[in-house]
């Protein structure tokens, strides 16, 4: 096994070659999105290196061994982009063949579409050979009528959803997930989308949290203690529920989406990570590329509106990355996995080419001078861990 902190050892940086300006690069990728082109990984790639792994020997709570996993939002036709079953299965096979063994999905992604598609791959694999996580909090019911608010799911499965964080709803949600994927067990279960950022909830998220505190939290704790699952936590876009839960329960692992990236990481470093560290809880980082923005997509997180300060920071980091012979996507992925609190990153993918590019990025040697320059220009926090 290649250890987490020692796998990036080989090679010197390649020469710069042809360099696009940040604005030209964004326009280039925006035009090519429809044919599946991806930002090409630059730098010295050790093609013989395996994907890095965690040392889980003395972990207080369950911690997946694989550093790099796969998020399932795109497999649910996220971002209003339709992909065929065949295209997603090709992507999933590429992930498996590249060594990815950590898969995260949700009933909400395409209203079961992502789970079903993940099952097309995983039901044919030995269950002990991979880590699988999904989520609870929404129950699906069949309906021929399209959702009034379809979120960003294009051509989603014919279901509606209702929120249910009760103990019985949690059990039913897990059982439904297992049927859809076609497997016998989950490793990790996240309580999903308990956040004021969830537009369905707003300030009412506290009412749903109270339901989870009496239902989902003790039920998942019981399932963990019975050995039915290995760990549970929260899968959220803001950390409010995690802060509350740490005071009254014992989660194992939390999925932080949109909360730790090379562009936006101060709150996680200063507050969230220390709270998790104190209790031996690890973090899985969702959307480490800010919903594709750091890979050149014309969106930030889940919105087509790109905040001006984020665009400016992207341009500045991209210019420095180009000077050092690497690409910003590679820097972003390695930055996201560097903290010891982080057990895994789970960037999404729609195509096999995106998978291959992401895996290649984890095998690039990034010059230490690159990180020093980012800190000296205050583009990343001074206390931000960097890959070593």
- Catalytic positions: 104, 109, 135
* Residue 70, SS3 per DSSP: strand
Determine contact, residues 130/175, Cβ cutoff 8 Å: no
Q: Distances from the Cα of 32 to the Cαs of 29, 153, 173, 262, in angstroms?
A: 5, 21, 38, 24
Give dist(CA 107, CA 119) in Å, integer.
12
∠ Cα 154 137 133 (to 5°) = 75
Q: Of the candidates 151, 177, 182, which has an alpha carbon nearest to the alpha carbon of residue 80?
A: 151
d(CA 65, CA 132): 12
DSSP one-letter code for 64: -
**90 is written with which tokens?**
């090709």
Minimal CA–CA distance to 322: which of 5, 23, 37?
Answer: 23
Cα 80 to its chain centre, rounded Å, is 18
Residues in CB range of 301: below 8 A, 6 or more apart: 258, 287, 290, 291, 293
């Amino acid at each position: 096994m290649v250890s987490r902190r020692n796998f990036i050892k080989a090679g010197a940086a390649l020469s710069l070659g042809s360099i696009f300006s940040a604005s030209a690069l964004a326009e280039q990728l925006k035009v090519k999105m429809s044919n599946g082109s991806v930002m090409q990984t630059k730098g010295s790639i050790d093609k013989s290196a395996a994907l890095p792994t965690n040392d889980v020997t003395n972990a207080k709570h369950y911690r997946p061994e694989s550093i790099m996993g796969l998020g399932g939002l795109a497999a649910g036709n996220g971002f209003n982009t339709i992909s065929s079953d065949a295209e997603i299965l090709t992507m999933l096979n590429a992930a498996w063949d590249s060594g990815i063994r950590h898969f995260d999905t949700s009933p909400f992604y395409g209203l079961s579409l992502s789970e079903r598609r993940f099952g097309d791959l995983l039901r044919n694999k030995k269950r002990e050979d991979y880590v699988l996580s999904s989520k609870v909090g929404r129950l699906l019911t069949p309906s021929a009528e399209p959702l009034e608010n379809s979120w960003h799911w294009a051509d989603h499965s014919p279901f509606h959803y209702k929120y249910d964080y009760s103990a019985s709803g949690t059990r039913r949600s897990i059982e439904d997930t297992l049927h859809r994927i076609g497997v016998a067990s989950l490793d990790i279960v996240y309580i999903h989308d308990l956040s004021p950022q969830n537009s369905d909830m707003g300030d009412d998220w506290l009412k749903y949290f109270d339901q989870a505190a009496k239902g989902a939290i003790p039920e998942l704790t019981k399932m963990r203690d019975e050995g039915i699952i290995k760990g549970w936590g929260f899968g959220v876009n803001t950390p409010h529920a995690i802060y509350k839960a740490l005071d009254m329960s014992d989660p194992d692992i939390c999925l932080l989406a949109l909360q730790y990236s090379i562009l936006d990481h101060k709150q996680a470093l200063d507050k969230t990570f220390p709270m998790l560290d104190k209790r031996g809880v690890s973090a899985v980082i969702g959307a480490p590329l800010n919903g594709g923005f750091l890979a050149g997509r014309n969106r930030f997180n889940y919105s087509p509106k790109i905040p001006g300060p984020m665009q400016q920071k992207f341009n500045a980091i991209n210019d420095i990355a180009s000077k050092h012979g690497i690409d910003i996507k590679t820097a972003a992925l390695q930055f996201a996995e560097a903290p010891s609190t982080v057990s895994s990153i789970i960037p999404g993918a729609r195509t096999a080419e995106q998978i291959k590019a992401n895996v290649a990025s984890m095998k690039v040697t990034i010059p230490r001078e690159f990180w020093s320059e980012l800190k000296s220009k205050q583009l990343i926090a001074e206390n931000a861990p960097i890959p070593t």
